[in-house]
Every structure is written in structure tokens, then in C-alpha cells.
Amino acid sequence: MYNKAVSEHNPVFVLQVRTLPAFIDTMLAAPLLLLLLFVPVRPSSAAQLPNQGQAKDVPIATNGQPFPWDRMRLPKTVYPLHYDLTIHPNLTTLDFTGVARILLDVHEDTSMVVLHAKQMQVSNVLLLAPEGVRPLRVLEYPPFHQLALLSDSVLTKGRRYEVQLEFAANLSDSFHGFYKSSYRTKNGEVRVLASTQFEATFARGAFPCFDEPAFKANFTIRIIREPRHISISNMPKVHVHAEISLYFDHFDTTVKMSTYLVAYIVSDFLSISVYAVPEKIDQTAFALDAAVKLLDFYDDYFDIPYPLPKQDLAAIPDFQSGAMENWGLTTYRETGLLFDPNKSSASDKLGLVKVIAHELAHQWFGNLVTMEWWNDLWLNEGFAKFMEYISLDITYPELQVDDFFLGKCFEAMEVDSLSSSHPVSTHVENPTQIQEMFDDVSYDKGACILNMLRDFLTPEAFEIGIIRYLKRYSYQNTVNSHLWESLTNKWFSGDELDVRAIMDTWTLQEGFPLVTVEVRGREVRLSQERYLKTDDPSLTEGFLWQIPLTYMTSASNTIHRFLLKTKTDVLYLPEKVDWVKFNVDMSGYYMVHYAGEGWNSIIKLLQHNHTALTSNDRASLIQNVFQLVSVGKVRLDTALELSLYLSRETEIMAVTQGFGELVPLYKLMEKRDMAALENQMKVSEKKLLHNATRGLIDRQEWTDSGSVSERVLRSYLLLFGCVRNYPPCVTKATQLFNKWRESDGNMSLPVDVTMAVFVIGARTPEGWDFLFEKYRSSLQMSVKSRLKSAMAVTPLQDKLKWMMEQSLHGEVMKTQDLPDVIVSVSRNPRGYKLAWDFFRANWHTLIKKFDLGSHTISYMVTGVTSQYSTREMLIEVRSFFGSLTEETGSEMRCIRQAYETIEDNIRWMDTNLPLLQGWLDKRSRRDVHEDL
């Protein structure tokens, strides 16, 4: 799954087979199915899930009888081998009915079958045994989403049986399970479709199943639909027949796979192998081309041919995450798949191919080889995130994707620097905990530690190991150690490297190391500790990593390597040097502190010859030094002195990281609500902006020329300049907006400058209304996305409030966009109180729509609160979240992260505000002296 919140809020982008026996077919004859169409829908109550894996008391079924299983994980007594599913959705009454026939392999003698079903009515449950057909008694336990099918006779170990269940439910009105989506045609007609999203634990809401990733099976799916619709699923259609006014679509049997990868859609989509609503089908050609290229790449890289006969892509109008890797039918947000060469920006193109690369990588990592349980989700998501960059570097070299990988590691470190972080591989039990695994640690940290290992082993050795892993475990489930065993070989002079010993330190403990380097002549003293934003030093004790260090010096461009296994160690250089840079290109997932005169020597290097280091090295130095300010290792004025070199910087990652460290200084001040301080800081802010960006923004042309990185950087800088009221930006953007508006939006603006232009236009009521009309009428998803983002930057509070209300309502602005709107408004100095009030008032609606523990909820919790920096706001935030119950989210990790972040902001402001003011005064005197 491509997690939208994880992947699209980087500052660069925001501001962004087999047949069944004949007797089974007979059981599915038309009269039974027609009878099913009229089964009434009476969903069971949806009890919230407790945190513990076992019920405190004997679980009681809905009929008052004891439920025979007391654990959240299913028993291993029976395994599904094959599902025969018939589904009939009614897009008028918004419900569905179905029949599931499941072939079971009995591993232990048992008289019960426990499986999942959530919020559905299950009836007519039969056991199809060689001795004949007989009914089964059914008990339901909603807290664990479980059904127990009880047999009067024992199901014998080693034999196979089938169970058949009829079921009925409503189409979900969330974004999970089998859910309703809709879109509006340009003529204003609302059309309804039904689509699936089963990861992680939502297949159980669509059909009774063994909804855990290790219960892999084959699936044969039949969809009943009206003639005006089409249906698609994981496999190609092998047969269609009509009865009365309905069509029955029969799909080929899938390969062996987990329930969360099953998919089917009933809609009026058109297709060129990429499915979309009819009016947007002309925006699918680029995605098709990208998918073909990327599948070819993965076939070669993994040395395993893509195992299915087709790979469709579908753009769904309502979609919570960024995309989903359903085997043979990947699904996407419309913004993640639709592309108009004339209206889409360079970053749109980059974002689109990254999403497709991610989902297609999953066809091997995740689908072919699947983690045993959700604790090792990173084996899926970390790999897919990592392979985005590996694949695009080869297939789309012009996108310069390497320029953006570093940002993923910085984002992961933001979360991983808190005591509320978690190991990459973490014990999880219930669905809320599972949902919480879809975060920056599983995705971005997973990708970054894989990149570190690849750099350490060499790309060639790494690829050999990956191929070995995929071939050894095809159609199976794995744990961490399977990967490390596959990557272990006699790489180095015949000595076997213990990959598992190294990587267990990165996956089984949370956080990451801070390596302190002190150079004394030819001697380099090393020490490691956990980097942690806390005022409790005891929380950093007991951590030790095996760190693949890399370094280079002023005396040599050679990259030297050293595996630091202990708390301290010493290196010896062949000669004295002017400077040393550790973590070359930041290929390692750790920070470096240069003790003694180390930082001063680096500042001198950057001021006089910054290109002696790569752009990744420069970006990592910026990130490291500002993060070290947060933990008191480096003074703020040292970090600010280092940032001055940015006026000569031209590379995107270094620039955006520099701005990314400086902008929060403004944001923290804005949200202190101290008028005197705010006025005092106005002049200082302009000086700081001027110092960091002198010449950088001025050099940008208002065109679409240049490489992808240059174009993305231009968009970023011009938008930054306009948001921060840099006069030349504001003047030019105002001129362009007025001309564009006079042409009724028909004038062709350079795509890369549109965000800057729209943001300025949104400052007046008339301009905002004009942007909204263009938003409502546009069919180009990338244009709509930019318009929406710009409208959320307006200073007009009534417009901000209206946007949030409309997004919640979901007709004019899609509810899927509500999290983006809320967080954008919260980052707006005129809107952050509105966002916080709206967020609190609608909390219960939000957790129902977006699901407890989801990354979407986490994104909103942390996004809305991350820039608060006063004790008053901390009390207010604690008061609200403290009033919640476990059922309404009080135990979510993101709430602890929010507290920690605000506490860190308060400490930072208390410590560094005086230092900031003093440095700015000093700079001011220096500037005056230089002018004289």
C-alpha cells in the first residue's frame, strides 16, 4: 500500500489454477443466487476491539452462549486452500449479498472452524463433507470479528472439507472493505461504483474468511452485475453469462495469496488496461507506459517473471491511501494515476511513477513473498519504498529520483527520535495496532536501513541475496531472519558476514544512533548513543547498534568503511586532515556529531568550497546540525552560521532541507501568540530569510525549463517566496494571476509556477472564489490538487472554515481530501486555531470514516499539533486526548507522539529564543559593518 500521508507531504511536494468439482458448481445454480438477492441486511453491532490478545473473561457470543475461542489470532487447526466467492452488489440499495465456499485442509482434529466476519449477516452455513451435506451451528463474537462454525462430528486431521456460507451486508461508507465510491460527471450527474480495500484487516467485512496474511489460498471469484456496469478482479474474466437482467462474470482462479490482496470493482469505468471514469480516460496513457516499463524492470531485476496473466491499474474516485497492491489489479487515488502532459507538473510526474513503482514492486515483495504477520510489515512496505528508487533510477533516469531519497530518511528520523517510536519489527495484535504499523518507521526507515545494507554489502551482492530470498520463499510467508539468511554469504575474503547480527540491531530496537566523532591529530575517537529528543537521559541507556560507518577526509576522496560494534572505538588516519565527513552521502541511518573543532571546520569548508562535498552530504550536515541543537549537543548559532552557505546552494535536497529546518522557527513563533515577540521577530525573520536565500529565489525563472530536480526546486522556491511575502515573488505572481483570471483561466500558465500564482490569488475573496470555481469544474486531478492546496493557504478565515466543512460533507470537495485540508489549515497562521477546533469537534466522525490507528488519523493528530510550542496548548491538547476512551483512540501511539513533540518544541523555544535573537542582532551589526 502506498501510504499517501507518508509519501506526499515532503515539503518538496506540498506548500503537496484450478477448477472446482462439478458438484460445487451445481451448488451455485442460479435459483440459489436469485434467492440471495433478497436476503435482508441486518449487520451485527460493531464492537470496538480491546487491546489485549485474550479476552479477560470467557468470551460470550451474541446469542449469550460461550464462544469457544478466546484469542484474537485464529487457531491453526484448519487452513483454507481455496475460496469460491460469488458477490452481488446492488448499487441502488448500496448493499451486497454473496456465497462463500471454502475448501479446508485440517491440520488437527477439531469440531470447530473459527474464521473472520465483520458487520455482516451470515446464514445457511453448511459443511460439505464426503459423507454428505449437513448444517453447522454458528456463533459470533464481534469484538474479535470472529465466527465459530460448530460441527456435531470431528473434522479429521489430514482430510479436506468444504464449508459454505451465505452472507449479506451494506456497502461500507468508509474507505475500507467493500465500499461505495461516487463521482460527478461534468453534467452534474452523480454515478456510484463499488470498490475494495482489504489491507490490512478489512476483507472480513466483504466475505467470511481467514483474514490473516499467513492463511494463503486460491480464489475463484464471480461477480453479479447489471448490464450498465463492468466488473474487474485480480484475474482475467474467463466467462460471462446473462440471466434475466443480470450478468454473471466468472474470473479465472488466482495464484495462492493472502486475503488482503483480493480485489474487485463494479463500475462504469472505461479502460486501456488502466481503468478510470469515462471523462478522465484520456489521462491514463502515461501511467500505462510507466507500468509496462516498470514490470519489465522488475522481471529482470528479481529474475522471476511476473506470475499473473494481466496487471490492471484502476483510478478510484474515493480512496484513503495513495494506492494498493492488489495482485493483478492495483488501485490508486486519481491523483496517483491520472496525468495530463499539458497540465501536470514535474513533481506530479515524479509522484505518479513513484506510486506505480511502489505497487508493482509489491507484486514480488508482499504478494509473491508475504510477511508471516503484521509485525514484519516493513518486509513489504520498506522494500516497496526502497524499490521505488532503485527501479526509477534505471527506468526514468531523467527524473533524478536519487535527489529525493534522503528526504525519506529525514522523515523517518523525525518519528524515530521520539521515545514513543517503535522497532521496525514490533509485536502487534489487534487491528488498531496493525493499522499503526503503516507509518514512517515501516516505510521510510525500512527503506533507509535496506539502502544502508545495500551500500555495505555492495549492490551486486545485495541483489543476489534478494533474488535468493524471493525464489526460496515464493508463495510463502516469511519473518525477518529469512531475509538476513538469504543475504548472508562469504562476501569478504572468505569470511562470513553475520548480516542477521548487524540488522537485528536496526529492526528489533527502536530509534537510531548518534555517532560522536572527535579528531585529535591522526586519531579519530568514536562513540555511539541513541539520539532521542527527551529531557530524560535514562531513556537513551542500553542501546547499541552495529553501525556500517563510512567516511572521507580532506586528504582523499576514497570512501573508507568501518563496522562500529561497540560503544566506543578509535580510528587512525594516515595523516592529519582539515576535515572529516562521516556517513558519506548519508547512506547510513544515523546522525553524526563533530565534537571539538569539528563543526567549525565543516562550516569553513561549506563557506569556501561547498561543492567539495556532495549535495547529499551537504543536506545531511544541515539536518544533523539542527537536530543536534534540539538535544543540546550544538548551539543554535553554530547551526545558523552553517545555514548561511545556502545562499550559494543550488541542489534541491540541500535547499529544501535547509528551508525545512528554518521554516519551523517561524512556525513556532507564530503559534506562541505573543504579539510583542511576534512584532520583534518580524524584522529578524526577514533578515533570516534574506541571509538564507539571498540570490537563490532571484535566480529562478517563471518557466517550465530545466531538469526535473530544477523544476521541482523552482516550484518550491517560488511558492516559499510568495508564502513568506518576498516582494519580487509577490509582484510577479500577482501580475500572472490577474492575467490568468482576466482570461477566465484559459491563459496557459507555466505549470511549475502555478502554486505560487494560486497562493497569491487566494488572498482576496474574489480571487479565492475564482480558484474555487476552477476547482469545481476541472477534470485534471493535478490541477484540482494544486488549487485545493492554494485555497488552504488563504488568510481568509471564513474560507478556511468552509473548506473543512465542505470536505467533511464530501460532495463538492472529496472527504478523502479532508485530512490534507485540515493539516494545511493548521499550518496556516490564520487557521491553526480553526483547524484544532474543527478537529476536536469532529473527532468521532473522523475516526469512524478513516479508522482508528490508520496513518490518516495519525497524520492529522501530529499534523495539527506539531507546531504548538506553549504550555497552554500542551494542557489543551492533553485535556482533549485525555478525555477519550480506549474505544475512541486514547491508546494510539500518535497521541503520545503529539505530546512529545509539543514538549520538545517548548524546551526548544525556552532554550533557543534568546540565542536566536542574539545571533540575529550580531548578524545585523555585521551586515551594517559590511555595508559601510
Picking from 309, 313, 311, the residue whose alpha carbon sits closest to that of residue 276 is 313
Residue 65's CB is within 10 A of a number of other CB atoms, namely 12
Q: Are 419 and 534 in contact (CB under 8 A)?
A: yes
Residues belonging to the chain: 932
3 state SS of 571? strand
| Strands in 198-351 per DSSP E | 218-225, 230-233, 237-243, 246-251, 264-267, 270-271, 274-276, 312-316, 323-324, 329-333
Is the Cα dihedral 465, 469, 470, 472 positive or negative? Answer: positive
3 state SS of 416? helix
What is the grid cell recorded at 448?
Answer: 533507509
Picking from 776, 704, 768, the residue whose alpha carbon sits closest to that of residue 741 is 768
What is d(CA 8, CA 358) in angstroms, rounded to the nearest whole number? 13
Q: Are 207 and 260 in contact (CB under 8 A)?
A: no
Is the Cα dihedral 444, 447, 450, 454 positive or negative? Answer: negative
Q: Is 710 annotated as a binding residue?
A: no
User: In Å, how far are 123, 185, 555, 762, 888 from 46, measured between CA atoms?
Assistant: 18, 35, 66, 43, 13
Q: Which residue has the cell 495496532?
A: 433
3 state SS of 147? strand
The dihedral over CA atoms of 46, 47, 49, 50, expressed in degrees to the nearest 10, equals 180
Q: Are 61 and 140 in contact (CB under 8 A)?
A: yes
3 state SS of 156? coil
What is d(CA 806, CA 815) in angstroms, rounded to the nearest whole number? 8
What is d(CA 871, CA 878) in angstroms, rounded to the nearest whole number? 10
Of 359, 641, 649, 903, which one is the catalytic site residue? Answer: 359
218-225 and 78-90: which strand pairing?
A: parallel
User: In Å, how far are 377, 425, 600, 667, 804 from 635, measured between CA atoms?
Assistant: 39, 35, 12, 20, 40
166 given a catalytic annotation: no
Q: Are 275 and 294 in contact (CB under 8 A)?
A: no
Q: Is 358 annotated as a binding residue?
A: yes
What's at 787, amino acid-wise? L
Q: Are 517 and 590 in contact (CB under 8 A)?
A: no
What is the grid cell recorded at 755?
Answer: 502554486
The dihedral over CA atoms of 69, 75, 80, 83, expressed in degrees to the nearest 10, equals 40
Q: Are 275 and 312 in contact (CB under 8 A)?
A: yes
What is d(CA 628, CA 634) in angstroms, rounded to the nearest whole number? 5
Edge-to-edge strand list for the sheet holding 95-106:
132-135, 121-129, 160-170, 95-106, 78-90, 218-225, 246-251, 237-243
**Tally of CA atoms within 13 A in the half-sphere of 319 that contains its CB:** 25
Residue 651's CB is within 10 A of a number of other CB atoms, namely 19
Question: Is residue 200 reached through a cis peptide bond, with omega within 30 degrees of 0 on the bond before it?
Answer: yes
Picking from 315, 571, 436, the residue whose alpha carbon sits closest to that of residue 861 is 436
312-316 and 274-276: which strand pairing?
A: parallel
Q: Is 701 annotated as a binding residue?
A: no
Picking from 394, 398, 312, 392, the residue whose alpha carbon sits closest to that of residue 353 is 392
What is d(CA 413, CA 532) in angstroms, rounded to the nearest whole number? 10
What is the grid cell recorded at 70?
Answer: 478466546
Residues with Cβ < 8 Å from 616, sequence gap 6 or more?
A: 406, 585, 586, 653
Q: Are 919 and 636 in contact (CB under 8 A)?
A: yes
Binding residues for Zn(2+) are: 358, 362, 381
Binding residues are: 358, 362, 381
Return the active site residues.
359
